[in-house]
Amino acid sequence: MSQASLDDDELFGEAASEMRSDVESSLADAWDALPDADDIWETDAENVLGVLNGLKSALDVGDAEDHLRDAKKWYTMGERADAFEDADDLEEEIADLEEALENITDAGEQVGELTATIPALRGTLEDAGSEEADDEDENEAEAEEDDE
């Protein structure tokens, strides 16, 4: 084997190692960008709308999607170049991260829908309560008239 091919093999091995490190680093950054479990569990809000708004903010995935994209980009390059000896762990972690992001995004959308619905529901219930109170006032007034 010539010196040039040995150097090429060493360079390829070094590049493959760096590529794997880039994927692992991007995955770690993506996991770190996800919301903290306590942030979506605990609240200081005084009402349901405050809880929902806080939860909606807590479910922001930040830069996690960008980091996942970087990880997938470098992973795909490494796979196509056959640079990884064993990349099953990377593939599995990418899938786990994608699933976590999807779950968080779905939850955020559901919370967003509730955040939009709750004020309208409250208004409807307040209107129904005031109509009921008006009906009771009318019934009391009629009863008083009948007593006289």
CA 111 to each of CA 8, 18, 56, 99, 107: distance values in angstroms, whole numbers, following the listed order: 53, 40, 6, 18, 6
Its domain, for residue 115, covers 3-147
Maximal C-alpha separation, the chain: 118
SS3 call for 75: helix
* Separation of alpha carbons 13 and 136, rounded Å: 83
Pick the more confident residue, 97 or 133.
Answer: 97
User: In this predicted structure, what is the pLDDT of residue 27?
Assistant: 97
Task: Find where tokens 């593939």 sit.
Answer: 91
pLDDT on residue 140: 67
Q: What is the pLDDT of residues 103-148, one digit of tens each?
A: 999 999 999 999 999 999 999 999 987 776 666 666 665 666 666 6
pLDDT digit string (tens) for 2-45?
455 558 888 888 888 899 999 999 999 999 999 999 999 998 99
**pLDDT confidence of residue 1:** 46
pLDDT of residue 8: 82
pLDDT higher than threshold 80 for residue 49? yes
Q: How many domains would you assign to the chain?
A: 1
